[in-house]
Structure 1
Amino acid sequence: MKAMILAAGKGERMRPLTLTTPKPLVRVGGVPLIDYHLRALAAAGFTEVVINHAWLGQQIEDYLGDGSRYGLSIQYSPEGEPLETGGGIFRALPLLGDDAFLVVNGDIWTDYDFTSLRQPIAGLAHLVLADNPAHHPTGDFSLLDGQVRDGQPGAQTLTYSGIAVLHPKLFAVCADGAFKLAPLLRDAMAQGRVSGERLHGQWVDVGTHERLAEVEQLIEASY
């Protein structure tokens, strides 16, 4: 199974850090955020990774190179103008092949073990859902008997962690350009074709300076 790291965002809420540094290269615990993903993917047995980029993307390529120092082979999908999550993945599909692939948001930090995701999926998508963080108390989706549902009355909601396994067929009706991933997932949920699991462990959506500091504290506490 191949993996894709989404690294095209501008990180506007983390300025001035991201004025000169792409968000995946912002350091936390002395290490760029994207390093944590690459190390975890390699440890889980992944060998081929695709990374999309837009804002200051050449810095990402210059820093990571071909991925050999992580024991990985990295290919890049440059966008120029950001294509949003769905459009970015669609643009990269020729690099990802015909089988299901792992997708990870480049601006999260987690100790999640990716090993369990190297399995075939029965539907179009498999989502990893996290407990709702303080900045997103209403959550995104419900998880019932291993299936992810949208807007299930009375059901507990969880937050999409930015970790998923997707099948290329999810994008069968799409065309090149900027579009979001969520509507595709919701359509697949309505068809009962999205499975899921709950993330047990640490997870932070590193979208602000405050959450970057939260990750620093978690890393310090783990030493």
Structure 2
Amino acid sequence: MAKTTGLGSSTLDSEPRLRDSHPVINKAFILGAGLGTRLRPLTEVCPKPLVPIWHEPMANHALRHCQNAGIDHFAINTHHLPEKWHETYPEDSFNGSSLQFFHEPTLLDTGGGLRNITHFIGSDPILVYNGDILTDIDIRRLIRQHEQSNNLATLALRSSGDNCNVNISGEQVTDMRNLLATTPGTHQFTGIYCINPGILDLIPEGEVVSIVPAFIELIQRQQLGAVVLDEGDWCDIGTPEAYRAVHQKLRNTHPDPIHPEAIIHPDATIDSCIIGPGAKIGAHARLQNCIVWPGVHVPSERSASDSILCH
């Protein structure tokens, strides 16, 4: 897991967002349709991007991060438990920005999902943002570099990580996943990138297809850019262990591990827990080092330690 200490206010607080005065990109596509199999059993009750991080859905942090870079219009693809998205955002909006949902009865993968929102993209460049990451990297720098280039896509990369499978030369990607048989990768892809609508011509319509073949075609055309964003933090919330680890890190920088709207019986024993809004802890319950999701009812006499209580 990449470092997570001190994840910044751009993603995790509720302060008023700061806007670029002249945003280059004002649309983003949040990838929300994955099954989240590695994060089971947490994803049996909600889609992976809606798993709560420090009292609110992980997707909120991504949306706020994008808003801070001047983005106001969002597309989100759905598949697993799509009704949970509408329960979370019943007005199809977040903090004043519009949300447009694109349901995929059959998962279309990263390329097919992008092709499926062609009408949303129109003639505009957009930011694409994986819905299962928590980060405060400088996406404004990514957007600026993309605008100043002639690339059809620009990837945000890290120079270290657990999955370094991207090669670069200067500000261009030269290979990924060793598909062009160059050398082992040197950089990790963050799951965040900018595209121009011309990339859609490289993605077949109505097919289940990854975005990677389109990226390989752009590499061969020298039209796949790269920007290395090592400042700030980045974490893939891929497993229950990673989920617990990021919460332990957030304890160092974020107040109120017990949300003020949690209801805790005075006879309950709580030690080093993170408890979400609307959670109810019954009499004589004993919890140690637990994460209790918003709205969860922990019955009287229940004992748990080192657990994630999600239903």
Could you state the TM-score of these two structures normalised by the residue count of structure 2?
Answer: 0.67
Shift of residue 100, structure 1, vs aligned partner: 1.4
RMSD: 1.8
Name the counterpart of 2:199: 170
What SS class does the counterpart of residue 29 from structure 2 fall into?
A: strand
Q: Which 5+ residue runs of structure 2 have no aligned equivalent?
A: 1-24, 255-311
Residues 62-211 of structure 1: matches in 2 within 5 Å? 62-119=87-144, 120=147, 121-134=149-162, 136=163, 139-150=164-175, 151=178, 153=182, 157-173=186-202, 174-200=204-230, 201-211=232-242
What SS does the aligned partner of 2:105 have?
coil
CA distance in 1, matches of 2:133, 2:91: 22
Q: C-alpha deviations, 1:113-137, integer Å up to 9, x for none?
A: 3223444242110000124433x2x
Q: Deviations over 1:88-119 (max 9, x none)?
A: 11101211211211000000110123223444
Q: Which amino acid aligns with 1:17?
A: L
Which structure features the higher share of helix residues? 1
Secondary structure of 1:140 counterpart: strand
Post-superposition offset of 1:45? 1.2
Other-structure match for 2:245: 214
Q: Which amino acid aligns with 1:123?
A: N
Contact 1:65–1:74, Cα closer than 8 Å, also in 2: no
Output the CA distance in 2 between the equivalents of 1:154 and 1:84.
26
Looking at structure 2, the residues matched to 197 and 22 of structure 1 have their Cα atoms a distance apart, in angstroms, of 30
Query: 2:62 is aligned with what amino acid?
Result: H
- Secondary structure of the 2:117 match is helix
Aligned residues: 220
Q: Structure 1 residue runs of 4+, over 4 Å off?
A: 151-156
Question: Aligned in 2, Cα 1:215/1:155: closer, same or farther, shift over 3 Å?
Answer: same
CA distance in 1, matches of 2:83, 2:248: 30
Structure 1 residue 213: Cα displacement: 1.9
Shift of 1:69: 4.0
Cα deviation for residue 153 of structure 1 reads: 4.5
**Higher RCO (C-alpha 8 Å, min separation 6):** 1
Instruction: Please state how far the C-alpha of 1:171 moved relative to its aligned partner.
Output: 2.0
The structure with the largest alpha-carbon Rg is 2
Gaps of 5+ in 1: none
Percent of aligned pairs with the same residue?
31
- Aligned partners of 1:111, 1:222: CA distance in 2, in Å? 14
Distance in 2 between residues matched to 1:179 and 1:170, nearest whole Å: 14
- CA distance in 2 between partners of 1:164 and 1:79 (Å): 22
SS in 1 for 2:120: helix
Rounded to whole Å, the distance in 2 between the matches of 1:69 and 1:5 is: 13
Larger displacement relative to structure 2 (110-119 or 142-151): 110-119
Secondary structure of the 1:221 match is: coil
Q: Distance in 1 between matches of 2:38 and 2:90?
A: 27
Equivalent AA in structure 2 for residue 157 of structure 1: T
Q: What is the CA distance between 1:20 and its match in structure 2?
A: 1.5
Given that 2:151 and 2:223 are in contact with CA atoms closer than 8 Å, whether structure 1 keeps it comes out as yes
Quote the residue 1:11 is aligned against. 36
Contact 2:138 2:229 in 1 (8 A): no
TM-score (norm 1): 0.91
Structure 1 distance, partners of 2:115, 2:90, is 23
TM-fit CA distance, 1:222: 2.5
